[in-house]
Structure 1
Amino acid sequence: MAMDAFGSMFGEAKPPVAMRMRPILFHAHAHTNDVSQLRLLATDLHSLAWDRSLSLSDIDDLRDDVGIGGSCSDFLDYLKSCLSSGEVNLLFPHNGLDRVHLVATKAKGLPRITISLNTLTHSALNDAIANFSLSLYAAFRTTQDHASREQERASKLMETLSSEKISQNTNGSGGHELDVARSGSLGLMATGSCCSDSCEQQRAHDGERQVKASAERQA
């Protein structure tokens, strides 16, 4: 089983307040040299770093210790939820820095996951801090690119909606002007009809008067 599906995630592991340490960050991801292993690295990005590579058998043992059923994939999903919950602590069981416990829980009342990490020294320490920094920057760039694409998509959507609104307003105005023109034409036709009726009545009245006058002269 490959750990690629687990992805890559960063977070903060809080050390005991009494130890007055620098903030500790952690990185969980598929191992660079062996994707069948899950690697956890915790460091203060200064002079301390601890790591652990978990094989499939290690993950099965960890699942048994935690007491969670289901498949290995289900347990990895639960582990990811615990690490992203914001409730991750770094404990020093022997009052030293050689070995620490990364303790994470998804929510209060749910099973905790405890993973032992081993200290890194000398060149391994320097390499770990350098790789952590580069991975963190790569994750930042990926997030920034996603945000830029979403912003561009939103801008195009707003432009499309604005164009459709302008088109609708233009069509509505043209329809109103056509209605006004039609109303004016009907008004003129009605006025012309009234004038025609009045003229016909006047001519009939004049004809009657002429007939009367002619009859009176003959009498």
Structure 2
Amino acid sequence: MEIGDFAAIFGEPKVEWINRASLTSHPFLFHVHTPNPSHLRFCVTDFHSNTWESTKSTLQLHDMRDEIGIGGAMSEFVDYIITSLKFGDVRLRLEEQSVDDGAACAKLCAQKSKGMPVFSLSLTKLFDCAASEAIATLSLGLFNSLKAKECSLLKEQERSLQLTTMISTEKEKYESIQSQLGQYTKKQKLQNMNASNSPDKSIGHHYIGLTKTTNRAVPAHRRAKTRGALLQDSEDDNEQEHSLRSTSEDKVDK
């Protein structure tokens, strides 16, 4: 069973001394990382004379999960540890052995939130080369972590600058379009005003008035005379036709 991708975790625990009222000590930093895919290493140091370490395999983590009482898959337990160390309440509990020898025991405890299970891990004190190597690993890991965050920040700043430039360009385009639209609107209004005041339109209105005058109805007395003339013409035509018929009949009788 492998732990999988695991980004190194760094933090500063709250130091608690057991069996001692108060003690002035250096601040501690903890470092959690994977030396290989099947192990998880916990290291705590004050960069002086107190360096503590514990390495757990996936099988040991599985047993710890059962002891703590967290169900689910192994990956969920690892996620709980990560969340507790990053965002929870992390404490380093030191137990004094004597005034000269300093702390005899150390435990790293983490709780995701109040009321949740407490992850507690006993640590082993390192000396000489082992302590120096652990401090060197922590220092190098912390440097690489800060460098990665710096690169990520630079990328975000570059992306932010690109977005700002794009927004500025789009804003200029929008303002240009608005300006062109305003000029076009003014031009259309001016053309409409000129068209309404043009001579051609006045002539057109005058022509329409003349047309209406020409098509005005004829007075009644004039219409009567016209109809009378038409009727008289029709009667003359009828008399001529009757005369022609009579002449034709006389010729036939003879």
Q: TM-score range by the shorter chain?
A: 0.7 to 0.9
1:86 Cα deviation from its structure 2 partner: 4.3
Verify: 1:154 aligned to 2:156, yes or no.
Answer: no
Q: Which amino acid aligns with 1:8?
A: A
Post-superposition CA distance 1:152-210 (Å, at most 9, x none):
11121121111111101101111111121122222222222378539x79xx9xxxxxx
Contact 2:8-2:141 within 8 A present in 1 as well: no
Q: For 1:4 and 1:98, how far apart are their aligned partners in 2?
A: 34
Aligned length: 200
Q: For 2:10 and 2:71, how far apart are their aligned partners in 1?
A: 26
SS in 2 for 1:129: helix
1:98 Cα deviation from its structure 2 partner: 4.3
Structure 1 runs not aligned, ≥5 long: 205-219
Q: Determine the structure 2 residue equivalent to 1:15.
A: 15
Q: How does 1:66-85 map to 2 (within 5 A)?
A: 66-85=68-87
Contact 1:51-1:119 within 8 A present in 2 as well: yes
1:3 Cα deviation from its structure 2 partner: 2.6
Q: Determine the structure 2 residue equivalent to 1:144.
A: 150
SS in 1 for 2:64: helix
Greater CA drift, 98-107 or 11-20? 11-20
Post-superposition CA distance 1:129-160 (Å, at most 9, x none):
11211111111111111111112111211211
Q: For 1:194 and 1:82, how far apart are their aligned partners in 2?
A: 88
Q: How does 1:32-71 map to 2 (within 5 A)?
A: 34-71=36-73
Verify: 1:114 aligned to 2:116, yes or no.
Answer: no
Contact 2:2-2:58 within 8 A present in 1 as well: no
Structure 2 runs not aligned, ≥5 long: 211-254
1:99 Cα deviation from its structure 2 partner: 3.2
SS in 2 for 1:80: helix
Greater CA drift, 165-174 or 15-24? 15-24
Q: For 2:9 and 2:178, how far apart are their aligned partners in 1?
A: 53
Q: Which amino acid aligns with 2:162?
A: K
TM-score (norm 1): 0.83
Post-superposition CA distance 1:82-138 (Å, at most 9, x none):
111341111124635343111111111111111011011001111111121111111
Post-superposition CA distance 1:11-51 (Å, at most 9, x none):
112212623211111011111xx221000110112232111
Contact 2:39-2:58 within 8 A present in 1 as well: yes
Q: For 1:46 and 1:86, how far apart are their aligned partners in 2?
A: 26
Q: For 2:90 and 2:201, how far apart are their aligned partners in 1?
A: 94
Q: Determine the structure 2 residue equivalent to 1:192.
A: 198
Q: Determine the structure 2 residue equivalent to 1:182.
A: 188
Greater CA drift, 181-190 or 132-141? 181-190
Give me the identity figure in percent.
31
Structure (1 or 2) with the larger CA radius of gyration: 2
SS in 2 for 1:64: helix
TM-score (norm 2): 0.72
Verify: 1:28 aligned to 2:32, yes or no.
Answer: yes
